[in-house]
Structure 1
Amino acid sequence: MDLQKIREISQKNAKKLGYEINTNLPLLDDDIGLRPQQEIVGRSLALFAVVACSYRFDKSLAIQWLERERVIDYLSDSERIYLNEREDNITRFQSQVEGLNAFAWSLGFVKSISFDSACDNSLIKHFPDIKNNGSSCEYKALSSVRSSSQIISVCDLAYCLHWAIVNAEANSVNLLSDVAQHVIIERRRALEWMLCTDDWDKLTLDT
């Protein structure tokens, strides 16, 4: 896999989107490996339930659903705490709908992933009907993980865009793009997770 070529394409696309580029930004590691599809599917369903709760779905029902669908073990520690506490810190988890978007694209449910806009409300249609206690069997059966090269390419672009966001903040520069920062960051988080072995809560999104 030509990571330098991938970076050149990322920089070209970043420019088109109105972001500054850094020609000295390190390339992604050349020993990247994609997690098994079962893990990606399980993690996406766990995150889906958490995001649903951040939009006021009942937490106890979400836990029951996760247990029944046998994906509760894919929750992160912070998500377990969130689902079992009374106080709501919903903003953090609401923003992770963009991580769901990255998962939906990576599993073949979404045809393309564009960084010039946030995901729309149609995203939820690709996931099980948790509000009506729907099964995840069809979702699991239809999932088809994209190639590692495709996921790495999109992750590399997200990395470049994230650097531009951090750099703009550090230098008090306004970005030309009006896309909310969490769109880039949460998509990158999901993509990075698929390409590493770290726990979700321990991912370091360095730039």
Structure 2
Amino acid sequence: MNQCTIYVSIQQCEKVVAAIVEAFRDQLVEVSADERAVTVTDKKWFSKSKITFNLMREDDDQEDFLQMKKGMYGFFAQIETAHEKVQQKLLYQITALNVAVGIVASKEFDQKTFAAIMAIAEEVHGIVFLPTGDMLDKQGRLILNTAGESEVDDFLVTVSVDLIDGHIQPSQSGEARKERSIKLLQEQGIPYIPHLPVIVGDEDAVIRSKDEMVQRAIALCLIAVYAGGIAENGQIKEEREFIEGIIEQFGAAEFFTEKERDFLNDPQPDRTDMIQMAWMYECYWVLLWALGYVEELHFPDEICDVNTAIDALRSAGDYDTFYGNAVVRSKQEILDQADLIYRYDWACVDARINNRTVAGGLNDEVVVERHRALNWLVRYMEDDWDHVSTDT
């Protein structure tokens, strides 16, 4: 074996570099200017070996890192094992990772080299993935392999203190909200895991402003109307002229995101994009609820009432009226729904990974769009609309 990867949940990447330098302090260590690559050279009388450490950070390329984590999550989630508790904790650990250290050596790892690699993992509380498909903890013990085997009875999930944001910061209100959600899940027969974290509590939550909600709601409604129209009749020019008139009517030209503007201006939009944008009705429905236009968010087993959703904006007729008639729900109500949808989405993801029907009749497409909207409302990770995460 001459390669492996260390995965870490840590905010200060320089700590990883420092651990590498310390572990190989008796050899020649060269660190790149951006601290994304470290080369270790071991010069002996008649031979020379080299080990390269390439660091990948989530904040450098969020999309690629997310896809990597999804792949790893799926890889370990599909393994049949008697160690289900360990497996679930490993899956949660994977969702918290934000640094990957790819390690490649010019020669096979000897005992000393591998011990140094494990010393790095221990220092930064990382996990080590081997080419065989084995995942090791920081002490070198097998967490899980493709045969479902494990050498540990339990696994301690490590999330950097620096990375604990509002989504997972424990709080009294957050814990109470989680308990209420779990009680409802039990009543509805929806699977759940008790160690799925709390979301941001009342004490720390900062909900989007009324201005933000109203503008986003208008943009989502118009983009969904346009997408649905061209998907149904293919009349792109006519539908664009129609929607541009409504955009002007509501003074909404500046309300759209970069991706939405690209879609509106695309002379030949992809059908996949049409369908995805048409799903924005579900996000719009959540915002209508948050603005008091919809009385309650029903159980997410079917799509929203599209005609009612459109009528809310159409009957207002202009921005000022739509804004004036809106009554923003309380922070507590919005957080209640955000916590519940987070756990619904976990059940959907778990079912999808394990090729099972989603329990309780949940519609996974409705769930994920609601999750997107609610995470935006509670400022999860402070993501803008185009990059809202729906982690589970």
Fold similarity call, TM over 0.5: yes
Q: Does 1:69 align with 2:250?
A: yes
2:220 aligns with 47
Would you tell me which structure has more strand in proportion to its own residues? 2
Q: Which residue of 364, 377, 388 maps to 1:181? A: 364
**Contact 2:191/2:359 (8 A) holds in 1:** no
Determine the structure 2 residue equivalent to 1:139: 322
**8 Å CA contact retained: 2:375, 2:389:** no
* Letter of the 1:51 counterpart: A
* Alignment-derived partner of residue 23 in structure 1: 194
Q: CA deviation at 1:104?
A: 0.7
1:33 partner SS: coil
Query: How far does the alpha carbon of each residue in 1:78-129 deviate from its partner, in whole angstroms, 9 at most, with x for none?
Result: 1111100022321101112111110111000111111243322323221225
Q: What is the CA-CA distance between 1:68 and the residue it aligns to?
A: 4.4
Verify the 8 A CA contact 1:101 1:123 in the aligned structure 2.
yes
Cross-structure match for 2:210? 37
In the TM superposition, 1:53-202 aligns within 5 A as: 53-56=226-229, 58-88=239-269, 89-118=273-302, 119-120=304-305, 121-128=307-314, 134-196=317-379, 197-202=382-387
What is the CA-CA distance between 1:74 and the residue it aligns to?
Answer: 2.2
What is the Cα deviation at residue 33 of structure 1?
Answer: 0.6
> 1-side partners of 2:198 and 2:362: how far apart?
24
Encode CA deviations 1:48-87: one digit per residue, 9 max, x unaligned: 1000101217223323432442332221211111100022
Q: For the residues of structure 2 that align with 1:177 and 1:93, how far apart are their CA atoms?
A: 27
The one-character-per-residue Cα deviations of 1:142-181 (angstroms, maximum 9, x if unpaired) are: 0111011110100110000001111111122222233421
Equivalent-residue separation in structure 2 for 1:170 and 1:33 (angstroms): 33
What SS does the corresponding residue of 1:82 show, helix, strand or coil? helix
Q: State which drifts further: 11-20 or 189-198.
A: 11-20
Which ranges of 4 or more aligned residues in structure 1 deviate by more than 4 Å? none
Letter in 2 for 1:198: D
Which residue number in structure 1 is paired with residue 101 of structure 2? none
Q: Work out the CA distance in 2 between the residues paired with 1:97 and 1:68.
A: 20
Range with greater deviation from structure 2 (38-47 or 50-59): 50-59
Q: CA RMSD in A?
A: 1.9
- The TM-score, its normalising length taken from structure 1, stands at 0.90
Deviates more, 1:36-45 or 1:193-202: 193-202
Matched to 1:34, the amino acid is I
Count of residues in Structure 1 that have an aligned counterpart in Structure 2? 204
Note the residue ranges of structure 2 that are not aligned, 5 or more in a row: 1-171, 231-238
Per mean C-alpha deviation after superposition, the further-off stretch among 142-151 and 16-25 is: 16-25
For the residues of structure 2 that align with 1:15 and 1:59, how far apart are their CA atoms? 46
Report the 3-state secondary structure (helix = DSSP H, G, I; strand = E; otherwise coil) of the residue aligned with 2:370: helix
State how far apart, in whole Å, the 1-side matches of 2:194 and 2:339 are.
13
Instruction: Map 1:4-15 onto structure 2 (within 5 A).
Output: 4-15=175-186
Structure with higher Rg: it is 2
Are 1:115 and 1:184, in contact at CA under 8 Å, matched by a contact in 2?
no
Is the CA contact (8 Å cut-off) linking 1:43 and 1:71 kept in structure 2? no
Name the CA shift for 1:18/1:3 in 2 (closer, same or farther; >3 Å).
Answer: same
Per the alignment, do residues 116 and 68 of structure 1 end up closer, same or farther by CA in structure 2, a change over 3 Å counting? closer
Q: Which amino acid aligns with 1:122?
A: T
Report the residue type matching 1:136 in the other structure.
Y
Corresponding residue SS for 2:361: coil
1:35–1:194: 8 Å Cα contact kept in structure 2? yes
Q: 1:128·1:136 contact (CA, 8 Å) conserved in 2?
A: no
TM, length-normalised to structure 2: 0.49
The 3 A distance-change label for structure 1 pair 122 and 70 is closer
1:136 Cα deviation from its structure 2 partner: 3.2
Compared CA separation, residues 122 and 68, structure 1 to 2 (3 A): closer
The structure that is helix-richer by fraction is 1
Structure of greater relative contact order (alpha carbons < 8 Å, 6+ residues apart): 1
Distance 1:198 1:168 in 2: 27
